[in-house]
Amino acid sequence: METGVRIDPLTGEATLSPTTPLPVGQPLRFALFDLHGKRYLTRAGWAKGRKTLFECVSENGSADLVLDAATAAHVAPGTPLVLEEIFINLREQFSWPAPPRPAPVVAAPAISEPPSGTEQAEGATPHQTPGKTPPSTVTLDSSARKSRLGWLLAGAALLVLLAGGTAYTMLRQDAQSQMELIGRLQVENQRLQAVNSTPQSSPSQDAAAQKVELQAALIANLQQEIDHLKAAAKPPVAAAEPAKPAPAPARAGADLDQRAVDDLKRENGQLQARIASLEATNVSQANAVDGAARKADLQAALIASLQAEVTRLNDSLKQPPAAPSPPRAEDASLQAALDDAQRVMKDLRQENLQLQARASALENQISSQNAARSSSAGEIQALQQQLDALKVDRSTVQARVEEQAKLIESRDAEIAALRSPLSSPVQADSASWLAAAVDRGGSLQSITNQVSRESAEKIALKLCGGAANGCSLVAAAENACLTLSRPRGQRVMQGNWWHAVAPTWQDAERQALFQCDNGSGNECDIRFTVCSPARLAKPQ
C-alpha cells in the first residue's frame, strides 16, 4: 500500500494519510525513512538513528499526519520514503511529491522517542516479542540492492565450486602417488626374491669334487708305497752257508721305492696346483663344502692310520735281527726310502691341515652369506609390511576420495540451489537487517527486521544493556540468519558460545554446530536461530 501525501500550497504543510487500517484507541508512533539516503526525518533535519516523527491515537481506524512546512522542506521531490510503525507492522512506501510553491517555515518542538524494536533473546521464539505482532515483509524495488545480492550469491557459488575442485584434485594426486609407490615396492620385492632363489654356480662344486678325487689318488699312492715298504721290510732267511745276497731284487725294490717317492712328489705338486686354483674360486655352496670337509676329516683319519702303519714298520726295521748279520746296502737304501716317505707324509699332513683351515674359512664365509641372506629376508618382510600398510592407506584414501566426491555432489546441489534464485528476480526487503550483542556474562541479545545496519546495531546494544553491562557487538548482517550454539548441558557463561551468520538458516546452524564441536571438544546444541527478513526464518 502507498501513503497519500497532500501539500498545502499556502502554508507548505504536508499531510500524510496511511492507507492501512489503524487500530482504534492505541497510541501510535510513526517514523519516515529515506530509502536512498538510509536515514530518518526529524523536526531538525535528517538523522541516522530511528526517530519518531508523528504521535497519534486513531479514533476511526484512520489518521492524517501533518508535517510542518519547515520539516517538509528537508525532503526533496521524488525521494522514495517509507512510513513505518513497528508495533503494528506498518510499512508503506511512497515518493515525495513536488510542492506547488515554497511554503513558509513554521518551527515546531522536537518530539523524543522511546526505544523501540523487536528483540530476540535466548529461550524466546525467533521474530516474536511478547505482546507485539511480528513485522511483515515489505517489498523494496531497489536495483542496487538486487545487483549487490546477485553478485554476492554468484561469488559464494564460485568459491564453493573452486574449493570442491581443489580438494578433489589434491586427493586424486595423493592416491596416484600412493599407487606408484606400491608398484615400486612390488618390483623391488620380486627382484629380491629372484636373487634369493637363484641357484649357486656349479664351478665351486666341481672344484670340491676335484679336490676329493686328488686326495683319494694321493691316499691310493700312499697305500701302494706302504705295500712296497712292507715287502721290502721282511727279514732275510738264514742259510747254513753264508751266501751272497742277491743284489738285483734288492736294487729293484729300492728303484721301486724311489719311483713311488717321485710319484708322491709329483702328486704333491699337482695337489698344490689344485689348491691354488681352489683359492681363486669362491666356494658358495654350503652342502658341497660340508661334504668336502667331512671327506677331508675321513682322509685325515686314514692318513693317521697309514702313519701309524709306517711307524710300526719303522720300529720293526729298527729292531736288531735275531742273528747278527753284516749290514746290507739294501737295508740302507730301504732306510733312506723310508725317511723320504716319512718326510713326504709330514708334508702331506701339513697340507691337510692347511686344507682344513681353508675349509673352516670357507665355512665362515658361507655363514656370513647365510647371515646376509637372513638380513635380506628381514628386509623383504619389512617391505611386505610396508606394502600391506600402503594397501591399508590406499583403502583409506579411496574412502576419503569417495567421501569428497559425495561432498562435491552435495556442493553442486547447493550451487544449483543458489543459481536458481539468481535466474529469477530477487525480492528485497526494506527491513532486512539483523544484529546481535553479548554482555560480559555471555548472554546474547538480537534484533531483526531493521531498515539499516546502524539502527540494528544500536538497538542490539541497547537490548543487551549498553556499555554499563559490558556489551559488545557480535554480528550485523542483511538478508541473513544468525545461529547461537553452546555445549550440551552447559549454562550461559562467557566464552562457551559460538555463532555463525549465513544466507540460510540451514547453513547458519550447520556452521555454528561445527565451530562449537571443534572449539569446545564436546557435543553442542542450537540455542536459537534468527533470520531477517522473516521470509528466511526457520519453519516452526
Out of 113, 131, 154, pick the residue that ends a domain.
113
Q: Is the pTM of this model over 0.85?
A: no
Q: Which of 423, 442, 468 is the last residue of a domain?
A: 423
Answer whether 415's CB lies under 8 Å from 160's CB: yes
Domain identity same for 276 and 353: yes
Query: DSSP class of residue 86?
Result: T
What one-letter code names the amino acid at 305? S
* Same domain membership, residue 385 and residue 278: yes
Among the residue ranges 5-19, 251-265, 395-409, the one predicted with the least confidence is 251-265
Alpha-carbon distance of 515 to 298, in angstroms, equals: 86
Q: Is the pLDDT of residue 84 over 50?
A: yes
pLDDT in tens, 175-190: 666 566 566 656 655 6
Do residue 298 and residue 279 come from a single domain?
yes
Q: Quote the pLDDT of residue 221.
A: 66
Is residue 140 a contact partner of residue 430, using CB atoms and an 8 Å limit?
yes
Both 177 and 313 in one domain: the answer is yes
- Residue 245 inside a domain? The answer is no
Segment among 60-69, 223-232, 319-328 with least mean pLDDT = 319-328
| pLDDT of 86 over the 50 cut | yes
- Cα 443–Cα 445–Cα 447 angle in degrees, nearest 5: 170
Residues 367 and 475 occupy one common structural domain: no
**503 within a domain of the structure (yes/no):** yes
d(CA 75, CA 85): 20
Alpha carbon distance 360, 161 (integer Å):
74
Is 242 contained in some domain? no
Question: 118 lies in a domain?
Answer: no
For residue 144, pLDDT over 70 is answered with no
Contact 168, 402 (CB under 8 A): no
Range of the domain at 75: 4-113
E-strand stretches of 288-404: none
Q: Above pLDDT 90, what percent of the chain?
A: 25
More confident residue, 130 or 442: 442
Look at residue 435 and tell me if it is in a domain: yes
Query: Are residue 340 and residue 462 in the same domain, yes or no?
Result: no
Distance CA 448, CA 151 (A): 23
Nearest to 485 by CA among 122, 120, 118: 122
136 domain residue, yes or no: no
Asked if 90 and 49 sit in the same domain, the reply is: yes
Residue 151 is predicted with a pLDDT of: 83
> Which residue's entry shows cell 561432498?
407
Range with the lowest mean pLDDT among 4-18, 126-140, 378-392, 526-540? 126-140
Q: What are the two backbone dihedrals, phi and then psi, of residue 288, each rounded to the nearest 5 degrees?
A: -65, -40
Residue 487 binned pLDDT confidence (cut-offs 50, 70, 90): very high
DSSP string covering 135-171? PPP-EE--HHHHHHHHHHHHHHHHHHHHHHHHHHHHH
Q: Is the domain of 379 the same as that of 454?
A: no
C-alpha cell of 9? 500550497
pLDDT at 289 over 50: yes
Identify residue 379 by its one-letter amino acid code: E
What is the three-class DSSP state of 482? strand
* pLDDT bracket for residue 503 (50, 70, 90): very high
Residue 128 lies in a domain: no
| CA–CA distance, 448 with 182 (Å, rounded to integer) | 58
Q: Which residues are CB-contacts of 537 (< 8 A; sequence separation ≥ 6)?
A: 126, 127, 481, 505, 530, 531
CA atoms of 126 and 119, how far apart (whole Å): 9
Kindly state whether residues 398 and 480 are assigned to the same domain: no
| Domain closes at, from 423, 442, 465 | 423
pLDDT category at 157 given cuts 50, 70, 90 is confident
* SS3 of 262-296: HHHHHHHHHHHHHHHHHHHCCCCCHHHHHHHHHHH
CA atoms within 13 A on the CB side of 365: 14
Same domain, 473 and 402: no
Residue type, 343: R
pLDDT for 105 equals: 46
Looking at the fold, whether 32 and 148 belong to one and the same domain comes out as: no
Question: What total of structural domains would you count in the chain?
Answer: 3
| 365 and 454, same domain (yes or no) | no
Instruction: Give the pLDDT score at 95.
Output: 92
The mean pLDDT value for 27-41 works out to 92
55: phi then psi, degrees, rounded to nearest 5: -130, 130
